């Protein structure tokens, strides 16, 4: 095509969209292409398991940027197209229909896909997953009052769906293999609050239970549980985690290690190729360089922005504190930092009943904080904890536990 090689972003989700706009914000005024696998402009995924399920009508996706914003940003958005190869020698991305786009720097923001249920026949038996807006519409249609919904996996997606289905009047059973809910992401105390809330809403929560087999029976699905029991469901949805979408990077010979392997600058093993969001793993500077991969809205946005600036030479290490939220019924759970990094727990019991759970490392550093409360009741304290974690603060456990000492006051004592 003879055009000047520009910046190319593969992946039209939260991360890719943010990166494209951040490239412009950081001053890039050359060609800029955003390639999205879905046929629609980038949209927000958090509502898919929540308001998209519980709202009065099936609704269009919550658009991050519409065609006009993309046009105004000078972003050439190629929708409904996947990238099939990266020709690194020639600095070109190859798209599914054969078109080649020259790049100066490339960002891989291909996200993650739902982990398929590893049970023979699961695919054929119509197990549903939730990842895209079209998945959400199809699932929503099945959440009719009285419908028997089997949710496989008691993680965030499964539990948000269980809450939404319950609010729609469905009879919901959650089957979780681990001994408790959300075992990867939260503390046992918060998991217990969430389990109690689901049970109060009428959800049948079965932990320590796996699914051994699946079969169709009279238009429904029979789940054979590892406990020997069976469960008849009108709809089965699996939320057992996500798999990073690394096929493109792998085919191009880039290093892959639980995601596309990048360094703290989000650079892959090729200095002109970057990766960000759910698809990548990187060594987190705040956690001793431990290699992690996150699947969260905030991380997707923040890494997209940082990768964009680094593509333009900013040399900015990505050390943002992991931060996550989940809405279930009237409860919102907030987590900052990595819960499994902490060795000591300190609990702050606020006068309004909200408990903030802090986790400290062996050196006394604050590494994580989490809380659950009605709507955004815990948000501010978790945000302040996040800022303390970012500054590598070592607050005294007694002070941390004292609800009369504001976290903002602790933050003011920290050097910048």
Partner 1 sequence: MSEWIAACAVDDIDPEDVIPFRHDGVDYAVYRSPQGEFFATAGHCTHERMPLCDGLVMDNTIECPKHNGRFDYTTGKAAGAPVLVDLRTFPVKIEDGTVHIGIG
Q: Which stretch binds partner 1 (CB under 8 A): 32-40, 110-118, 309-317, 375-383?
A: 375-383
> How many angstroms from the chain centroid is the CA of residue 214?
28
Give rounded-to-5 percent helix, strand, coil for the chain. Answer: 25, 30, 45
From CA 348, how far away is CA 403, in angstroms rounded? 6
From CA 106, how far away is CA 159, in angstroms rounded? 36
Binding to partner 1 by residue 71, rule CB under 8 A? no
Cβ 231 to partner 1 shortest distance, Å:
35
Q: What mask, x for binding partner 1 by CB under 8 A, covers residues 266 to 305? A: -------------------------------xx--x----
Between 153 and 373, whose beta carbon lies closer to partner 1?
373
Between 64 and 93, whose beta carbon lies closer to partner 1?
64
Figure out which of the listed residues 377, 390, 401, 405 binds partner 1, where binding follows CB under 8 A. Answer: 377
Figure out which of the listed residues 115, 291, 383, 391 binds partner 1, where binding follows CB under 8 A. Answer: 383
Residue whose token pair is 């709202």: 55
Figure out which of the listed residues 340, 375, 396, 413 binds partner 1, where binding follows CB under 8 A. Answer: 375
What is the gyration radius of the CA atoms in the chain, in angstroms?
Answer: 22
Q: Which stretch binds partner 1 (CB under 8 A): 175-183, 195-203, 242-250, 380-388?
A: 380-388
Cβ 325 to partner 1 shortest distance, Å:
7
Cβ 380 to partner 1 shortest distance, Å:
5
Q: Which of 204, 261, 250 is nearest to 229 (CA)?
A: 204
Binding to partner 1 by residue 198, rule CB under 8 A? no
Whether 401 contacts 347, CB under 8 Å = yes
From CA 181, how far away is CA 187, in angstroms rounded? 10
Between 17 and 195, whose beta carbon lies closer to partner 1?
17
Q: Which stretch binds partner 1 (CB under 8 A): 82-90, 91-99, 215-223, 374-382?
A: 374-382
| Residue 392 Cα distances to 217, 264, 286, 294, 413, angstroms | 56, 18, 8, 20, 12
Terminal CA-to-CA distance of the chain, rounded, Å? 49
Cβ 18 to partner 1 shortest distance, Å:
7
Cβ 249 to partner 1 shortest distance, Å:
26
- 8-37 positions binding partner 1, by CB under 8 A: 18, 21, 25
From CA 10, how far away is CA 21, in angstroms rounded? 14
Binding to partner 1 by residue 391, rule CB under 8 A? no
Binding to partner 1 by residue 376, rule CB under 8 A? yes
Cβ 379 to partner 1 shortest distance, Å:
3
Q: How many helices (H) and strands (E) does the chain have?
A: 11, 24
From CA 286, how far away is CA 373, in angstroms rounded? 27
Cβ 53 to partner 1 shortest distance, Å:
16
Whether 287 contacts 341, CB under 8 Å = yes
Cβ 224 to partner 1 shortest distance, Å:
40
From CA 215, how far away is CA 367, in angstroms rounded? 45
| Residue 109 Cα distances to 47, 113, 300, angstroms | 20, 12, 9
Residues that bind partner 1 (CB under 8 A): 18, 21, 25, 64, 297-298, 301, 325, 375-377, 379-380, 383-384, 408
């Amino acid at each position: 095509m003879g055009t000047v090689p520009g910046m190319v972003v593969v992946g039209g989700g939260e991360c890719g969209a943010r990166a494209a706009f951040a490239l412009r914000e950081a001053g890039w005024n050359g060609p800029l292409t955003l390639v999205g696998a879905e046929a629609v402009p980038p949209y927000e995924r958090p509502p898919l398991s929540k308001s998209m399920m519980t709202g009065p009508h099936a609704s269009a996706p919550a658009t991050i940027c519409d065609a006009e914003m993309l046009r105004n940003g000078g972003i050439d958005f190629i929708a409904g197209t996947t990238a099939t190869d990266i020709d690194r020698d020639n600095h070109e991305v190859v798209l599914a229909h054969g078109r080649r786009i020259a790049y100066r720097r490339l960002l891989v923001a291909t996200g993650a896909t739902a982990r398929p249920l590893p049970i023979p026949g699961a695919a054929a038996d119509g197990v549903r997953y939730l990842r895209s807006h079209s998945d959400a519409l199809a699932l929503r249609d099945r959440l009719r009052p009285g419908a028997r919904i089997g949710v496989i996996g008691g993680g965030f997606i499964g539990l948000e769906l269980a809450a939404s289905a319950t609010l729609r009047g469905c009879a919901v059973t959650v089957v979780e293999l681990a001994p408790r809910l959300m075992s990867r992401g939260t503390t046992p105390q918060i998991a217990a609050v969430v389990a109690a809330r689901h049970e109060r809403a009428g959800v049948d929560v079965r932990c320590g239970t796996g699914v051994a087999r699946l079969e169709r029976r009279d238009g429904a699905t029979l789940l054979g549980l590892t406990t020997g029991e069976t469960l008849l469901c009108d709809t089965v949805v699996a939320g057992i985690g996500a798999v990073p979408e690394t096929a493109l990077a792998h085919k191009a010979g880039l290093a892959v290690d639980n995601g596309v392997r990048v360094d703290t600058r989000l650079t892959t093993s090729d200095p002109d190729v970057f990766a960000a969001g759910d698809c990548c793993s990187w060594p987190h500077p705040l956690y001793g360089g431990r290699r992690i991969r996150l699947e969260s809205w905030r991380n997707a946005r923040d890494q997209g922005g940082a990768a964009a600036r680094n593509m333009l030479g900013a040399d900015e290490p990505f050390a943002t504190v992991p931060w996550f939220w989940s809405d279930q019924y009237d409860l919102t759970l907030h987590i900052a930092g990595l819960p499994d990094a902490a060795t000591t727990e300190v609990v702050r019991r606020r006068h309004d009943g909200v408990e903030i759970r802090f986790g400290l490392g062996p050196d006394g550093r604050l590494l994580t904080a989490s809380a659950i409360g009605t709507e955004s009741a815990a948000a501010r304290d978790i945000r302040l904890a996040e800022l303390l974690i970012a500054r590598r603060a070592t607050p005294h456990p007694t002070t941390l536990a004292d609800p009369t000492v504001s976290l903002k006051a602790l933050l003011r004592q920290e050097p910048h």
